Amino acid sequence: MRKIRNDELYAKFSKWHKLYIDNCKNKLTRSLYKLQESQNSAQFGNMMGRELSSDELRYMELRKVKDDKAVSKEASKILRNIKDLDNTNPDDVLDSLLKHSKVHNVLIEHADEDSIRTIVVTERLRISGDNIGHYGIFLSLRNERDINIRNLEHVVNDEYDHSFIYYGRPCLGSWDSTIRKYYNSGQLFLLIDTFVHFLQSAIGHPHIDFDVWIEGFKNRPSRDMSANTTEGILTPDVNEILRITEREEREHREDLRRRLSNEGWIVSGIINGDF
């Protein structure tokens, strides 16, 4: 499908991308400081309580040289990453996302400076030939834990956007480290590409068995997606999606509170859905 350039979208994305890149650079800088602190920490541990033999001294010196090289290599990698981020062109990033074969559109939701989000809308995805719908990948500015993925066509039992996604929260399993690496290093194309592969995978331990989920998805009420398009570009009512997401999130938290309370847990200190 031909993607139509939208100058307003590019301007909004540029603003979001700058904030996102600044966050990535701050995280990388903190990682650099932590590396320096670890390099300056005590090298001899509990062996410092006695005099070391010549063999022990030589071993510790060799160990220090090896550790210093490893730290230096990691530091150089972080510095290169920061330099690459400085040279990143947001228009090129958005172009690459829109050219992805599984990306239908990119939207920007901007309530205020702290809640601006980029929403990547996928094409209709499939697992082993079965249609699993269009998805909205909601990217926040804070961290990879705030990423929500919503099925834009049907949520099975009003809970499961996907066999691995419960109330918009993906259970990433072995995908987690890769997602975190790409998100924190500013590699948006690879991040979205990895999410697409994750969504098209049914391997692992899901929230709900895939066969059960896909049966529920196939039996969804009919919905005319063409009524939600403009010039061939899918444009879901983002405000409605967000409103539903927030409502479901509140209901989900209250449900968890009730269940935990019934099981004897003290939940008065549980806030922000951090269970």
The token duo for 205 is 């331990």
How many CA atoms does the CB half-sphere of 42 hold within 13 Å? 6
Q: Which of 175, 223, 219, 221 is nearest to 196 (CA)?
A: 175
65-72's contacts with Cβ under 8 Å and 24+ in sequence apart are 67/39, 67/43, 68/39, 71/35, 71/36, 71/38, 71/39
Contact 92, 220 (CB under 8 A): no
Burial of 82 (0-12, 13-18, 19+ CB in 10 A): middle
Burial of 119 (0-12, 13-18, 19+ CB in 10 A): buried
Contact 208, 160 (CB under 8 A): yes
pLDDT at 45: 44
Distance CA 135, CA 104 (A): 10
- Block mean pLDDT (10 aa), the chain, length 275: 69 90 89 71 44 57 61 82 91 94 86 72 91 90 78 89 92 90 92 96 80 91 52 48 56 60 47 34
pTM greater than the 0.85 cutoff: no
pLDDT at 247: 60
The token duo for 79 is 């510095």
pLDDT at 245: 54
Distance CA 207, CA 69 (A): 43
| Residue environment code for 12-42, b if the CB has 16+ CB neighbours within 10 A, otherwise e | bbeebbeebbebbeebbeebbeebeeeeeee
pLDDT at 88: 92
pLDDT at 199: 95
pLDDT at 205: 74
pLDDT at 200: 94
pLDDT at 274: 35
pLDDT at 52: 54
Contact 74, 35 (CB under 8 A): yes
